[in-house]
């Protein structure tokens, strides 16, 4: 994400392994003939993420992590950024969880988790969550759900960390996992994170078909 990557200093993953895996995902999920058939339109996308923390430092709100998802192959339109252990909208707050809605470089709102300013402090903690987007009757909904952590307990779902917007999109066929991978990252104290991984991607089509890929794409891995 150009806006977020420049501000937080993210380093996009561009290894041959990642490129190969993304190519496999593309072959499984998208082809030009499928897009022309309405029942094959993509109407929901789910990404499963995993973050393994090494040695967090609560006095400096370290580390700080952001994951991104977009319905199109770029960040010039609607997308969300999910912040962990920091919140930058409407003002910077250390700790907590925050889902932000953006249209290009323009902020369109945010939803903060109820546990507000709770900070990471447990060594070796693994945090997992699903971030999704769905399209129904012109309403595009982004959500974080199935979150599990020591720091914030179970988070997301049930209306928490959910944002919706009206859209002219007819489907989510332009979704690309590489947009998520290249624009997500550890913006601060990356040395305190063992790994940050997009584990799985599921695509739901209008005809009820669901396709899943065990992507295991590393956004960050401590060497």
Tokens of 61: 């709100």
What's the pLDDT at 6?
Answer: 36
SS3 label, residue 138: coil
Domain containing 86: what range? Answer: 2-221
What's the pLDDT at 223?
Answer: 79
**pTM of the complete model:** 0.86
What's the pLDDT at 29?
Answer: 53
Cα distances (angstroms) measured from residue 177 to each of 16, 48, 117, 124, 184: 15, 11, 30, 27, 11
Kindly give the confidence (pLDDT) of every residue in the chain, 223 residues in length, as a single tens digit, with 9 standing for 90 and above.
Answer: 333 433 334 444 444 445 555 554 554 554 434 444 378 999 999 999 999 999 999 999 999 999 999 999 999 999 999 999 999 998 999 999 999 999 999 999 999 987 768 999 999 999 999 999 999 999 999 999 999 999 999 999 998 999 999 999 999 999 999 999 999 999 999 999 999 999 999 999 999 999 999 999 999 999 7
How many domains does the chain divide into? Answer: 1
d(CA 194, CA 210): 31
What's the pLDDT at 25?
Answer: 53
d(CA 181, CA 102): 17
What's the pLDDT at 5?
Answer: 38
What's the pLDDT at 2?
Answer: 34
SS3 label, residue 39: helix
């Amino acid at each position: 994400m150009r806006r977020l990557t420049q501000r937080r200093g993210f380093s996009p993953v561009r290894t041959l392994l990642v490129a190969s895996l993304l190519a496999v995902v593309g072959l499984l999920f998208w082809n030009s003939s499928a897009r022309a058939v309405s029942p094959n339109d993509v109407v929901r996308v789910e990404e499963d993420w995993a973050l393994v923390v090494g040695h967090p430092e609560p006095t400096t709100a370290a580390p700080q992590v952001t994951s991104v998802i977009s319905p199109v192959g770029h960040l010039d339109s609607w997308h969300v950024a999910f912040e962990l252990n920091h919140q930058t909208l409407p003002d910077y707050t250390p700790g907590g969880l925050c889902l932000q809605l953006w249209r290009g470089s323009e902020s369109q709102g945010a939803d903060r988790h109820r546990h507000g300013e709770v900070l990471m402090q447990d060594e070796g903690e693994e945090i997992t969550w699903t971030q999704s987007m769905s399209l129904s009757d012109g309403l595009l909904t982004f959500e974080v759900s199935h979150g599990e952590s020591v720091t914030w307990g179970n988070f997301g779902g049930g209306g928490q960390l959910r944002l919706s917007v009206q859209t002219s999109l007819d489907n989510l066929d332009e979704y690309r996992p590489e947009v998520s991978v290249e624009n997500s990252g550890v913006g601060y104290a990356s040395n305190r994170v063992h790994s940050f991984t997009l584990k799985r991607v599921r695509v739901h089509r209008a005809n009820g078909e669901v396709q899943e890929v065990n992507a295991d794409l590393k956004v960050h891995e401590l060497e």
